[in-house]
Structure 1
Amino acid sequence: MESDFRLAVLIDGDNIPSAYVKEMLEEIAKYGNPTIKRIYGDWTRPTLSKWKNVLLENAINPIQQYGYTQGKNATDSAMIIDAMDILYAGQVNGFCLVSSDSDFTKLATRLREAGMKVFGIGEKKTPEPFIVACDKFIYLEILKSNEKETENTALASKPQKKDDYDKITPKVVRLISSTISDLADDDGWAFMGDVGSLLQKRQPNFDSRNYGFEKLTPLINSIGKFEIDQRDSYKGKFKLIYVRNKKGK
């Protein structure tokens, strides 16, 4: 996204490990300019002590929220109220909600209803309702894994053998195949960029990195059920990638 696409980054400090902060902020920068960065929690609690060490160096503003009632999550309430204040102030173009808590499902839905782009970031334990309420959802574990990968990973024809990568199941293959079919021209070809966009809309947590690939093209190429064609763009300045289902596959 363009640098003038302003994002409000709201972090549930009670629910997200501080070890991911570097990779998380690098990922967020791909989608826009994080003009507001806030983290919510009860900073009198020792469980948030690790966050304190990374707040200043990453310009994240800590918001103190005491737990007034046992069993109630005051952090969630403060974060939701702030999000709505930011929305009505018209300060940003989108939100990044960093949490693995399904309590933010309604907030994500409400923000999208207001025309905001909503990115979700959380651990793989995040409940499905929150994931599908976002435009895009990114798993923290994948960001940490990719940090350790070499630059050659994006060129690999097979995914890295790591336990934290998802398997390419028949369901995933059917999702890709049906998406290609829906976008295909009379010869069955679909532009790869359009395929990626529609996959994201149909399944917000669809990410080639979940399967060990940096990009969508090598992921699809590894499956063996699709044809890929590179074509010269207008004036031949760059390549356009098209894909179609193999016949009989």
Structure 2
Amino acid sequence: MIKDIKLAVLIDGDNIPSKYIKEMMEEITKYGTPTIKRIYGDWTKPHLNKWKNVLLENAINPIQQYGYTTGKNATDSAMIIDAMDILYSKNIDGFCLVSSDSDFTKLATRLRESGMQVIGIGEKKTPDPFIVACDKFIYLEILETFTEQQDGKPEVKKPSLDKITPKTIRLLKQSVSDAADDDGWAFLGDVGSLIIKKQPNFDARNFGFDKLTPLFKSLTQFEIEQRDQGNKRFKLIYVKNK
């Protein structure tokens, strides 16, 4: 899934805490080059002060949007209009929408209809409609690896992990079956791509594993096989339902 594509990163400043910025930007580079980086909000408001401190070092362009009407989210409107302008400019290959707000569901759907790859990033409180409207959705909580202690030393922070439920096992087993050859073996890369298509917010890190391979190895319902690929150093991983 990793491609060298040009991404437009649009951040809902009213909705996303600044503490995630470092890990979030590092995660985005796994999927492409963030050529456009913008964050939206009313910068006259004190709740965005923490964002002001990290914008310059991450080369993120703040977009001012005044809240003209009480109860209406002007930030959402500005971000949606900007996204459509960027889409029609045809200078990028995909979008990264950073928000936990379901108001961007229609935008994600529209961008995908236009052939754009859409990566969503938000907190675990993000409603399902926005999650499933994206090609892939990443929870911010699994990216936060440390916080600063009072003495200035980093403290490793363990994210709240999801449990592997029977529903999770069914998703994995069905995906292996769908991608399998006549002998029942499936290339793990194909299985991973298929799982994301079925459930965009699926991530091995949600369950405490760095990659999909150790997740499958931890489960007794599957067989794992490593295969040589000619003269190349790395081996291909195949999985089979028991």
Normalising to structure 2: TM-score of the pair? 0.93
Q: After the TM superposition, which residues 228-247 of structure 1 pair with which residues of structure 2 at under 5 Å, given as runs? A: 228-246=224-242
Q: Does 1:220 align with 2:208?
A: no
Of 175, 180, 183, the residue aligned with 1:179 is 175
| Paired residue total | 232
Unaligned 5+ segments in structure 2 are 148-157
State yes or no: 1:203 paired with 2:192. Answer: no
1:237 to partner: Cα distance = 3.4
Moved more, 31-40 or 232-241: 232-241
Match of 2:110 in 1: 110
**Change in 2 beyond 3 A, CA 1:243/1:123:** same
Change (3 A) 1:136 1:163: closer
CA shift digits 1:38-95 (9 cap, x unpaired): 0000001101010000001100000000000000000000000000000000110000
Alignment match, 1:31: 31
Q: Tell me how far apart the structure 2 counterparts of residues 240 and 57 of structure 1 sit (CA, whole Å).
A: 39
Compared CA separation, residues 217 and 110, structure 1 to 2 (3 A): same
CA distance in 2, matches of 1:168, 1:229: 22
Equivalent runs, 1:161-176 vs 2, <5 Å: 164-176=160-172
Provide the C-alpha distance between the structure 1 equivalents of 2:54 and 2:94, rounded to a whole number of angstroms: 24
TM-score, normalised via structure 1 length: 0.91
Corresponding position of 1:124: 124
Identity value in percent:
75
Provide the rounded CA distance (Å) in 2 between the counterparts of 1:22 and 1:133.
25
Deviation at 1:234, TM superposition (A): 2.5
CA distance in 1, matches of 2:159, 2:36: 35
* 1:162-215 deviation line (CA, Å, top 9, x unaligned): 560000010000000000011111211000000000001000000000000000
Structure ranking higher in helix proportion: 1
Runs (4+) off by over 6 Å: none
2:155 matched residue in structure 1: none
Correspondence 1:47 to 2:47: yes
State the AA in 1 paired with 2:143: L
